């Protein structure tokens, strides 16, 4: 049986085992997928121990270990290099650790699933942490016209724009904001504490989609979604679809099989 796991601290809340077991069933794969709480001072040893098993194929990594997963890996895909963080690990045939970041692919897939054609879109990204870094290239690859990054600490947005090294990516302050973004994406961790990043009401009122990268545990609206709806944003979405799509991209990396995601998203929405 192929062995998989997700590592985090805490990890009890993780939906990854449910998601991957549903993928495995639909792809006729027989897998085990555990959630493992790694100690804060022993993440690397826990990963080494996992991969010491000959059945171990791959794992996911979540908060607060994504940066350490990146640091451990011998090979990193472009998204990991940009994000400086990895959410997916596997060993290659030489036993070397390879790191991937599928968060951005997951975001773009979820936006597409929801009928958005990103081609030519103006996108405002709120926040400039690891979560923001991970979605820059996939959004650019999806053909957006520009990506403006607004962050409480502007230097961090400027650093992302510099690293992206693409004229379409700009760090902006409040005065430089456009009036007509198609999509506004909240990548800040503000939602996790029930607070809102500062963004002018008109920006949210005029957008086609206000997207919160976190998902709400009770399937209700996050504070950001509720705020955008109240202001008149045409549509609001949380990050549940992104969670399932980033998992699907990891499953494909590990198995070469592309699982169907719509039924999994629907199941989690109605759980
Ligand atoms: P992650 O890996 O989830 O992106 P992170 O790297 O700690 O986490 O980044 C968190 C992001 O959320 C940062 O952009 C942070 O803003 P600062 O760079 O100014 O710290 C942003 N953030 C967190 N709480 C916020 C709040 N209450 N209002 C606005 N931005 C917030």
The CB density around residue 48, as the number of other CB atoms within 10 Å, is 12
Q: Does 217 score more than 80 pLDDT?
A: no
Question: What's residue 191's pLDDT?
Answer: 82
CA 128 to centroid of ligand 1, rounded, Å? 7
Among 127, 159, 199, which residue has the most ligand 1 atoms within 8 Å of its CB, making it the best to mutate?
127
Binding site members for NADP(+): 78, 127-131, 151-156, 213, 239
Question: What's residue 103's pLDDT?
Answer: 97
What phi and psi values does residue 207 have, to the nearest 5 degrees? -80, 155
Q: Assess whether the previous peptide bond of 258 is cis (omega < 30° from 0).
A: no
Decide: 22 and 264 in contact? Cβ < 8 Å: yes
The residue annotated as part of the active site, out of 2, 25, 35, 66, is 66
Binding site members for shikimate: 14-16, 62, 87, 103, 215, 246
In the chain the domains, ranked by start, together with CATH numbers, are 2-101+244-269 (3.40.50.10860), 104-238 (3.40.50.720)
Q: Assess whether the previous peptide bond of 64 is cis (omega < 30° from 0).
A: yes
- How far lies 255's CA from each of 16, 32, 214, in Å? 16, 13, 27
Protein residue closest via CA to atom 6 of ligand 1: 129
CA 92 to centroid of ligand 1, rounded, Å? 34
Q: Is 66 a catalytic residue?
A: yes
pLDDT digits (tens, 9 = 90+) for 233-255: 999 999 999 999 999 999 999 99
Decide: 251 and 10 in contact? Cβ < 8 Å: no
Q: What is the mean pLDDT of residues 30-44?
A: 98
Distance CA 253, CA 250 (A): 5
CA 99 to centroid of ligand 1, rounded, Å? 24
The CB density around residue 62, as the number of other CB atoms within 10 Å, is 18
Distance CA 220, CA 226 (A): 9
CA 129 to centroid of ligand 1, rounded, Å? 6
Ligand 1 is surrounded, with C-beta below 6 A, by 127-132, 151-153, 156, 187-190, 195, 197
Protein residue closest via CA to atom 7 of ligand 1: 129
Share of the chain above pLDDT 70, in %: 100
Query: The tokens of 73 are what?
Result: 């890996």
pTM of the model: 0.96
Nearest-atom number in ligand 1 for the CA of 188 is 12
Q: Does 219 score more than 80 pLDDT?
A: no
Q: Name the DSSP class of 232.
A: T
Q: How confident is the model at residue 156 (pLDDT cuts 50, 70, 90)?
A: very high
pLDDT digits (tens, 9 = 90+) for 204-213: 999 999 999 9
ipTM > 0.90, yes or no: yes
């Amino acid at each position: 049986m192929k062995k998989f796991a997700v590592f985090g601290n805490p990890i009890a809340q993780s939906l990854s085992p449910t998601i991957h077991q549903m993928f495995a069933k639909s792809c006729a794969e027989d897998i085990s997928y555990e959630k493992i709480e790694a100690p804060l001072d022993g993440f690397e040893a826990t990963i080494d121990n996992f991969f010491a098993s000959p059945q171990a194929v791959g794992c996911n990594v979540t908060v607060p270990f994504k940066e350490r997963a990146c640091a451990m890996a011998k090979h990193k895909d472009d998204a990991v290099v940009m994000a400086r963080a990895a959410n997916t690990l596997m060993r290659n045939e030489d036993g070397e650790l390879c790191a991937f970041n599928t968060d951005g692919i997951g975001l773009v897939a979820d936006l597409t699933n929801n009928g958005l054609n990103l081609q030519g879109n103006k996108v405002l990204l709120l926040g400039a942490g690891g979560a923001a870094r991970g979605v820059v290239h996939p959004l650019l690859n999806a053909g957006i016209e520009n990506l403006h990054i607004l962050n409480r600490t502007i230097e961090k947005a400027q650093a992302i724009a510099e690293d992206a090294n693409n004229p379409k990516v700009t760090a902006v302050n409040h005065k430089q904001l456009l009036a007509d973004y198609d999509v506004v994406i909240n990548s800040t961790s503000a939602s996790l504490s029930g607070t809102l990043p500062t963004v002018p009401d008109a920006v949210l009122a005029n957008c086609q989609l206000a997207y919160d990268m976190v998902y709400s545990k009770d399937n209700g609206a996050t504070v950001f979604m509720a705020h955008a709806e109240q202001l008149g944003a045409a549509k609001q979405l949380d990050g549940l679809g992104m969670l399932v799509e980033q998992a699907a991209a990891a499953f494909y990396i590990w198995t070469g099989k592309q699982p169907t995601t719509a039924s999994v998203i629907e199941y989690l929405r109605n759980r």
